[in-house]
Amino acid sequence: MKRVFLFVLLVMGTVVPVYAQFTFSSIDFPGGTLTTTRGIDNHGTIVGSYRITPPRHAMLITDGDFITPEPGSVLATHFSEAVKSNDRGDVVGFFIGDDGFAHGYLLSGGVLTTLDFPGASQTFALGINESGTVVGEWDQLDAGGNLLAYHGWIFKDGTFSQVDVPGAADTSVIAINARGDMVGIWDSGVTSPFGHGFVLSKNEFISFDFPGATLTQANGINASGQIVGTYLEAGGAQHAFLEDGAAFTTIDFPGAAASAAWGINSAGQIVGNYTITVSGVPHGYLAQPDNKGKPGL
């Protein structure tokens, strides 16, 4: 199954009510027609994208200020997205090149480095941790641009390594935390109607599904192992979730037709996207845990 992605061992658990546990704030780029929020670091800096007129461009929000790419940079002139950042200020994401395909990038110390997995049709950089290790996905496309397969990767000490859930046809690694735990999605083939979340910790893969969901995608993990992501009901409705230990919590933006959670920091602050109508444009949001501690308890 094509994952619920950027263009728009079973762990059983309980589902916990949510609305009393979070304070939600909508995030919209001033004057923008689209806003996404994909990651939040431990300083509260948020990364994502904005659009005034097409295409969208990467952005970050720090101390309430929206910061856009330097004029003339590829992130300012091309379709681009910032997906995650770390506490050192490094940012990863992707842009659409002149060739029409996605290329990952690392922005560190003002220097933009393109990250392309060797032999890939296109590459997405999706996560980074405090030591600067980057994770993502590379796609294999046919001559018509159709997705044939996708695989996860890790970039460490200047070297790419492929990451695949054992037995899976497809794997995407979407986030990595400070201790090196990785999360994402896997499936049995791009035409499969099902997708499953996973955690890779200490060289052990653990697959999980939100109870009753046909697709579960893990998008973010913090230092204590709390996971956020997206799931689909059998009828196709899209929701955001928090997984904390064995407890699953739905964390939809109030009144939204569709929600997704993309990032969580050590304080339990969550960022993601929502739409007012199923086919509407995305808005960003921040979900602040009301207990100021571990959400979902």
Q: Which two tokens stand for residue 11?
A: 């762990």
List of domains in the chain: 14-289 (2.120.10.30)
73-125 per-position pLDDT tens digit: 999 999 999 999 999 999 999 999 999 999 999 999 999 999 999 999 999 99
**Cβ partners under 8 Å of residue 232, min gap 6:** 4, 213, 214, 215, 238, 239
Distance, CA of 13 to CA of 19 (rounded, Å): 19
Distance, CA of 132 to CA of 22 (rounded, Å): 30
Q: Can you give the pTM of this predicted structure? A: 0.92
Q: With a cut of 90, say whether residue 14 has pLDDT above it.
A: no
Q: For residue 21, what pLDDT is reported?
A: 86
Q: Which two tokens stand for residue 5?
A: 């992605």
Do 250 and 240 touch, CB atoms closer than 8 A?
yes
Distance, CA of 180 to CA of 191 (rounded, Å): 30
Q: For residue 3, what pLDDT is reported?
A: 57
Do 115 and 106 touch, CB atoms closer than 8 A?
yes
Do 128 and 86 touch, CB atoms closer than 8 A?
yes
